Amino acid sequence: MKLFIDSSQSRFIAALIENNKVIFSSNIETKYKVEEIIKFFENVPNLHNIHNIYINLGPGSFTGARIALLYVRTLAQLNNKIKIYTTNTYSLLSSLNKKFFQRKFFIFATKNKSYLLTNKSVKIVNKHAKESQINYDLLLSNFDKFLNTFTLSSLENLQPTYASQPQIGEIKK
């Protein structure tokens, strides 16, 4: 069984996939990713049958990316047969939007800022009028077609993708 999880965007998305069909999922727009990921894992059936985990490491929500990664690492440490595959927001948007030949994407960063993602860089810019959205319905209904968007990653090297260094604690002067 496969688990896909993305909490780096405005939605919390998690899905168990078996034989290319979603058998259990959560798809909720929320700022409170911690609560949603806890609810998901409290209710997920057959957690022990997950062998491959696919995760978007961002950029996007700092807390969302960190909390999903924490859960994924914990599952992999409890079951050393689990393989973790990672991707980033740019790769997901590019693979899902090929027919549009779009190579510049704007995604939510803060109330007044967006991330500008290209294949060469990630920058924080003033809010863009239309932010790109990942088409999760397309991704999950055709998941096997998008597996090449993910890369097998070692547990020790897993890190969220940040556009800039996160501010933790007091503002530094």
Q: Where are the beta strands (DSSP E) in the chain?
A: 2-6, 11-18, 21-29, 52-56, 83-87, 105-108, 113-117, 122-126, 151-153
DSSP for 125-166?
EEPPSS-----HHHHHHTGGGGGGG-EEE-GGG-----SS--
CATH number at residue 41: 3.30.420.40
Residue 18 domain-assigned (yes or no): yes
Provide the number of structural domains found in the chain: 1
Residue 44 domain-assigned (yes or no): yes
Question: What whole-number distance in Å separates Cα of residue 34 and Cα of residue 21?
Answer: 26
pLDDT for residue 119: 73
Residue 36 domain-assigned (yes or no): yes
Predicted structure pTM score: 0.85
pLDDT for residue 130: 80
Residue 147's domain comprises 2-98+136-157
Residue 70 domain-assigned (yes or no): yes
Residue 130 domain-assigned (yes or no): no
For residue 12, pLDDT beyond 90:
yes
Q: Give pLDDT tens digits for 119-154.
A: 777 788 888 768 888 899 999 999 999 999 999 998
Residue 38 domain-assigned (yes or no): yes
Residue 126 domain-assigned (yes or no): no
